[in-house]
Structure 1
Amino acid sequence: MPSVKANGITIACRDEGQGPALLLCHGWPELGHSWRHQVPALVAAGYRVIVPDMRGFGGTDAPDAVEDYTILHLVGDMVGLLDALKIDHCTIIGHDWGAPVAWHAALMRPDRFRAVAGLAVPWSPRGPHGSLVGMARAQGLHRFYMVYFQEPGVAEADLGAAPYETHRRLLVGASGATAASGKGWPLMVAEGKGLVETCSPVDVLPDWLSEDDLQTYASTYARTGYRGGLNWYRNLDRNWALTAPWHGAKINVPACFIAGELDGVLRMPGMDKALRAMEGVTCTDFRGTTLVPGAGHWVQQEAPGAVNAALLGFLEGLRSAD
């Protein structure tokens, strides 16, 4: 994958097509590969599509220091990427952890990110009581998976022992079919076990996840390890402190939200309130929510046709307004 220098690191990115620019930000534990079904459809519709491996993932640099993975670094990477590619502004689209990056980019730099689409994780503004991991600790939820990720080395050893099995269990475990069966990915890591062992084994891969796709994730993470992505979680407390200047600020650019109807994120505490608040409270130009029936957390991989249609509808609305 080609790469560019931006914000002090080397960022591997796919850059295809011509037209209005779209920047697609992946989540954890994924790669730019997670957007493989969106790129051809968006390019065919007349867009220039930029898909980076995010900081700490895949072919992009993974700085050593934990504190080099704050939300300011992550948004800064996206600004730097636009600068390196000589793009004045774009629509930013993010899934999972990429969604908070996209939401914050739209909040902090509306001059560069003129519209935003979040997938799986709704916009949840900075609250008054600390970060999600801080609140979980205060409630004694020490086996909550985000708390489990905090101690450097622990989750790396767990996830990195067998990357193929890790991705097989994590990806299938958070999918819609598994959620519907009642065996979805647990939010709490079982006492005396790691996250991978807590997740159910997978007998047969679903149609949306091919063996080749699984091997792409597994072989890449076998090479890079898991530290980079885990460091995003280790900055949740720091991010809460750093974003104090934006406390109470609204996202004012056009925005939309897309998720699988069976996504476990939507059942986490506070997510229902965040979903409702986007309708004109936290986002002043909200263009709607699309919940995809039968799909789980990996919505753009599980239901690419529905996601592509929702994204193109949102994007065509922007073009019409222009």
Structure 2
Amino acid sequence: MPHHRHVRLNGIDLHVAEQGEGPLVLLLHGFPETWYAWRHQLGALADAGYRVVAPDQRGYGASDRPGGVDQYSILHLVGDVVALIRELGEERAVVVGHDWGAMVAWNTALLRPGVVRGVVGISVPPLPRGPLPPLTVSRRRFGDGFYQNHFQRPGVAEAELGKDVAATLRLTYGGVPDPEPSGGFLGLFAEPETLPAWLTEEDLATFVEQFTESGFTGGLNWYRNIDRNWELTAAWQDAPITPPSLYISGENDVVRHFYAMDDAARAIVPNLRAVIDVPGCGHWTQQERPEVVTDALLDFLREL
């Protein structure tokens, strides 16, 4: 079982779940998730001889939730990863991320390659910095109703997602795309008849308890920095992500419709070891197909 504690870094407290001894592996969750999204990988990687640490990233779970939107830029998020590695008494780590956590992992490897032994992105591939602000691009491609644009107005998405936390997470994790979507974010999904096979009632209750306590503002503030992140990373335009890397994606992951592992993405990861497509898998990759993801991680770790 993982050990839970808080660490103080960059002026905030981060809650971490930690298990095992050996080379350090950090597991970074996405939205809307917490450390618990890695429940299947913590013990398996620890048993294989690794020290595995899954934080609640800033704004999530039992970690601190700074009030200012500007406290959730990519520089803050990467800074938390670098400071966490140091706080754990290590110089380097393998950094694994899913969804938004993948964005943080890729950017940690880009901005601070010296502290990254290897980087794994799950669901979200490495994203080359384009010529236009990302929200402008998504608005042109998908309209103002695209969820990332919808999340920009403080208070609106909070009210929608926080009205019924259990219903929100049930739809987000288990809902299927609604053929006749209505407004907002939750309107994209149809109510599932049952929970997906990978999510038990106990799992859902754990997430519900965590988000009832934390709310959704912290996670939404990550989205509210998308264009700011584009501005802050101008100096890294066309810079390669040099550590050894791995990309894992569910073949049915909706993210594929707007972020592709294409030639442009591959060009910025010159040490890409493999691209793994997980058959029959949706977006919640490491929860839906834990054995496949764990095996892929272990193969990658052994090669390092």
TM-score, length of structure 1 as denominator length: 0.90
CA distance in 2, matches of 1:185, 1:18: 45
Give the Å deviation of 1:8: 1.3
In structure 2, the CA distance between the partners of 1:3 and 1:311, relative to structure 1 (3 Å rule), is: same
Q: How does 1:129-278 map to 2 (within 5 A)?
A: 129-131=132-134, 133-138=135-140, 141-173=143-175, 183-184=176-177, 190=182, 193-268=183-258, 271-272=259-260, 274-278=261-265
Q: Which residue of 2 aligns with 1:120?
A: 123
CA distance in 1, matches of 2:238, 2:210: 39
CA distance in 2, matches of 1:67, 1:162: 27
Letter in 2 for 1:171: Y
Letter in 1 for 2:222: W
CA distance in 1, matches of 2:55, 2:28: 7
Q: Deviations over 1:64-122 (max 9, x none)?
A: 00010000000000111112111110000000000010000001111111210000000
Q: Which residue of 1 aligns with 2:35?
A: 32
Give the Å deviation of 1:138: 4.4
Q: Which residue of 2 aligns with 1:180?
A: none
Q: What is the aligned residue count?
A: 301
Letter in 2 for 1:26: H
Q: Which residue of 1 aligns with 2:291?
A: 305
Letter in 2 for 1:205: L
SS of the residue corresponding to residue 262 of structure 2 reads helix
Runs of 4+ that moved beyond 4 A:
none
Give the Å deviation of 1:197: 3.6
Give the Å deviation of 1:203: 1.2
Q: How does 1:14-93 map to 2 (within 5 A)?
A: 14-93=17-96
Letter in 2 for 1:284: P
Any gaps of 5 or more consecutive residues in structure 2? none
CA distance in 2, matches of 1:44, 1:143: 45
CA distance in 1, matches of 2:274, 2:263: 11
CA distance in 1, matches of 2:151, 2:88: 34
CA distance in 2, matches of 1:306, 1:207: 16
Task: Give the CA RMSD over aligned residues.
Answer: 1.5
Give the Å deviation of 1:129: 1.5
* Percent of aligned positions that are identical: 45
Give the Å deviation of 1:134: 2.1
Conserved 8 A contact 2:128-2:264: no
Letter in 1 for 2:123: A
CA distance in 2, matches of 1:140, 1:218: 30
Conserved 8 A contact 1:122-1:275: no
In structure 2, the CA distance between the partners of 1:237 and 1:253, relative to structure 1 (3 Å rule), is: same
Conserved 8 A contact 1:144-1:189: no
CA distance in 2, matches of 1:185, 1:308: 31
